[in-house]
Chain A
Amino acid sequence: MTALLSVSGVSVSYGKVEAVRNVSLEVRTREIVTVVGANGAGKTTLLSAAMGVLPLKGRVTFDGIDVARLDIEDRVAAGLSLVPEHRELFATMTVEDNLELGAFRIAKSIAAQSQERVYGLFPRLKERRKQLAGTLSGGEQQMLAMGRALMGAPKLLMLDEPSLGLAPIIVADIFRIVGELREAGVSVLLVEQNAKAALGIADRAYVMELGEFVLDGPASEVARNEAVVASYLGFSHPA
Chain B
Amino acid sequence: MNTTILLFLLQDGVTNGAIYALLGLALVLVFAVTRVILIPQGEFITFGALTYATLSAGGVPGTAQLALVMGLVAFGFELFSVRKSLHLAKVVRAALIYIAFPAVVLALATWLPAHKPGVAVNIALSLLIVAAIGLFLYRIAFQPLAHTSVLVLLIASVGCHLALQGFGLVFFGAEGLRGPPLSDVTLTAGPLLFTGQSLAVYGITLALMAALWLFFGFTRYGKALRATAVNRLGARLVGIRTSLSGQIAFLLASVIGAISGILIVPITTLYYDTGFLIGLKGFVAAIIGGLVSYPLTAVAAIVVGIVESFSSFYASNYKEVIVFTLILPVLVLRSLAAPAVEEEKD
Contact = CB atoms under 8 A, between A and B. Distances in A.
A, B from the same assembly: yes
A104 B242 CA distance: 13
Contacts of B239: 73, 76-77, 104-105, 152
A72 B230 contact: no
Interface stretch (B38-46, B221-229, B260-268): B221-229
Contact of B220 (A69, A71, A104): A104
Nearest to A83: B237
B277 interface: no
Given A69-B84, A89-B231, A91-B230, A100 B237 contact: no
A101 B233 contact: no
Contacts of B230: 90-93
Interface in B235-259: 235-241
Interface string B154-165: 000000000000
A88 B84 contact: no
B295 interface: no
A152 B239 CA distance: 9
Interface in B191-226: 220, 223-224, 226
B227 A101 contact: yes
B234 interface: yes
A82 B183 CA distance: 55
A110 interface: no
A84 B233 contact: yes
Contact of B238 (A76, A92, A108): A76
Interface of A: 51, 53, 69, 71-73, 76-77, 81-82, 84, 87-93, 97, 100-102, 104-105, 108, 148-149, 151-152
Given A91-B231, A93-B227, 9 more contacts: A51-B237, A53-B233, A77-B239, A84-B237, A88-B231, A93-B223, A100-B220, A105-B238, A149-B238
10 contacts: A76-B236, A82-B237, A88-B233, A88-B234, A90-B227, A90-B230, A93-B226, A97-B227, A101-B220, A149-B238
